[in-house]
Amino acid sequence: METVGDIWLLDHDDRGRKIRTTVTLELPGVHRIFIREDARRRPCDVCHPAVGWPRGDRLAWGLNCAPMRPDLSEYTHFSAGKVREIYEIDDATLLMVATDRISAYDYVLDTDIPDKGRVLTAMSDFFFDALDFPNHLAGSADDERIPEKVLGRAMVCRKLEMLPFECVVRGYLTGSGLKEYRENGTVCGVELPEGLTEASKLPEPLFTPATKAEIGDHDENVSFDRVVADLGQERAEQLREASISIYSQAAAIAAEHGIILADTKFEFGLDAEGNLVLGDEVLTPDSSRYWPADTYEEGKVQPSFDKQYVRNWLTGPKSGWDIKSQTPPPELPGSVVEATRERYIEAYERISGNRFADWIGTCAGY
């Protein structure tokens, strides 16, 4: 492996003061940046802003560095997340590009899922149109402002002032909600009836907000009172009401097609007039748990049409990976990649009633 050169980036010491840290870019193969062991784990805005951080200090960058970012020279790169790259079209408008990257347990994995970004975009496009709530879309899926190379995996969106909470709604008990319930009988401070178990349907959809952690850190479930403290009573109640209403609409749509929407995550922002607007992605297999209704059985882990399949493989015996090891997960085998791709596509086709083959764009991976 050849060392291409050192890159300087801004970091912060324990007192929050900016310092400079040397990183080394090494090619070819899987592109990684290695950072000296005593450095704090912070995103490198030189190579690839905020794609994802392993939890160990020695290996500070996962993969998909700059070569994997779509080269859209006509727009300015604005920001990046675990899955999405965002470009600025003008002062009021953004281009949000969904890549084929997949994340799990705070890592961006070394393996992409072909067509995943297009599925996420197709699913979001379907639900933004189907839901009765204002959203951030500022153009159609084939808007002329979308470059051809990312057609089908990009959306033209209004800039919003994003609110600092992920608005999770749970209709069924599983995941971190089940873990908290087993410990103290509550989820995000809301007391639940006794006797619930894995996949139990909740009496009513439950609003369980979480903080938006920096990439590489864990989102933290918080109480409704925390949202009130940060945003005020009126805005907090507006968020809760909107989240539950949107979940209920989506759950009804999914149920018509034999799918259970177990839980999902929304993100909201404010437009220039201060109106609440639904942003980011919506009701995708990345942000939601979808279960087949015909095999639903309370008390058991459900088969799913989302990335839970990847999580299960990573924590299962075949991966050989220890989640507590503070080492990056292994690459996904081809069988897991293909099975995940098929689950994502099936979720879109069953819920929307559309053929994924008819969705615009091609499988040019990013």
> Do 283 and 174 reside in the same domain of the chain?
yes
Question: Is residue 195 over pLDDT 60?
Answer: yes
- pLDDT (average), residues 190-205: 97
Residue 330 lies in a domain: no
> Do 102 and 154 reside in the same domain of the chain?
yes
> Do 144 and 168 reside in the same domain of the chain?
no
Question: Is residue 63 over pLDDT 80?
Answer: no
Pick the most confident of 30-34, 78-82, 343-347: 343-347
For 213-266, the pLDDT digits (tens) are 665 566 789 999 999 999 999 999 999 999 999 999 999 999 999 999 999 999
User: Which has more pLDDT, 344 or 219?
Assistant: 344
> Which residue carries 């103290």 as its tokens?
184
The pLDDT of residue 216 is 56
Question: Is residue 71 over pLDDT 90?
Answer: no
> Do 210 and 301 reside in the same domain of the chain?
yes
The pLDDT of residue 129 is 98
The pLDDT of residue 334 is 96
Residue 364 lies in a domain: no
Residue 28 lies in a domain: yes
- Other CB atoms within 10 A of residue 32 CB: 23
> Do 42 and 32 reside in the same domain of the chain?
yes
pTM exceeding the 0.75 threshold for the entire prediction: yes
Question: Is residue 306 over pLDDT 80?
Answer: yes
> Do 224 and 348 reside in the same domain of the chain?
yes
CATH number reported for the structural domain that contains residue 281 in this entry? 3.30.470.20
The pLDDT of residue 50 is 34
Residue 46 lies in a domain: yes
> Do 221 and 345 reside in the same domain of the chain?
yes
How many residues does the structure list for the chain?
A: 366
For 74-97, the pLDDT digits (tens) are 999 999 999 999 999 999 999 999
- pLDDT (average), residues 61-77: 65
Q: Mean pLDDT for the chain?
A: 84
> Do 171 and 311 reside in the same domain of the chain?
yes
- Please state the domain count of the chain: 3
Residue 269 lies in a domain: yes
Question: Is residue 3 over pLDDT 60?
Answer: no
> Do 212 and 288 reside in the same domain of the chain?
yes
Supply φ then ψ for residue 180, to 5 degrees.
Answer: -65, -40
Question: Is residue 171 over pLDDT 70?
Answer: yes
The pLDDT of residue 13 is 41
> Do 110 and 202 reside in the same domain of the chain?
no
Residue 331 lies in a domain: no
Which string of b and e fits 1-25 if b means at least 16 CB within 10 Å? Answer: eeeeeeeebebeeeeeeeeebebeb
Residue 126 lies in a domain: yes
pLDDT over 90 for what percent of the chain? 74
Question: Is residue 9 over pLDDT 70?
Answer: no
Domain final residue, candidates 140, 158, 176:
158
CATH number reported for the structural domain that contains residue 84 in this entry? 3.30.200.20
Tokens at 60, concatenated: 């500070």
Full domain range(s) for residue 103: 68-158
The pLDDT of residue 12 is 41
> Do 85 and 206 reside in the same domain of the chain?
no
78: left (phi over 0), alpha (psi -120 to 50) or beta: alpha
135: left (phi over 0), alpha (psi -120 to 50) or beta: beta
> Do 123 and 42 reside in the same domain of the chain?
no
Q: How far apart are the first and last CA of the chain?
A: 23
User: Which has more pLDDT, 6 or 174?
Assistant: 174
